[in-house]
Amino acid sequence: MISVKNVTLSFGKRVLFDEVNLNFAKGNCYGVIGANGAGKSTFLKILSGEIEPNKGSIEITP
């Protein structure tokens, strides 16, 4: 399971994510959709650990 808890990310004054909370359960398939520049790739980089959020945490459990 992947748990996203209170994740906030901003670049300067631009807030991309504000207090995001999500749970991804094992065995399910999820998609990330949105307009160009909405932050889809950035969100996946946060999940992978490539980018650290300004606030909050990502927990990955087997």
Give the Cβ contact number of residue 53 at 10 Å: 20
Structural domain boundaries enclosing 40: 2-60
Instruction: Give the whole-angstrom CA distance, residue 9 versus residue 38.
Output: 13
CB 33 within 8 A of CB 40: yes
The distance in angstroms from the start CA to the end CA of the chain is 7
- CATH code (residue 46): 3.40.50.300
Residues 6-52: tens digit of each pLDDT: 999 999 999 999 999 999 999 999 999 999 999 999 999 999 999 99
Total domains in the fold of the chain: 1
Q: Is the pTM of this model over 0.85?
A: yes
pLDDT at res. 62:
84
pLDDT at res. 20:
97
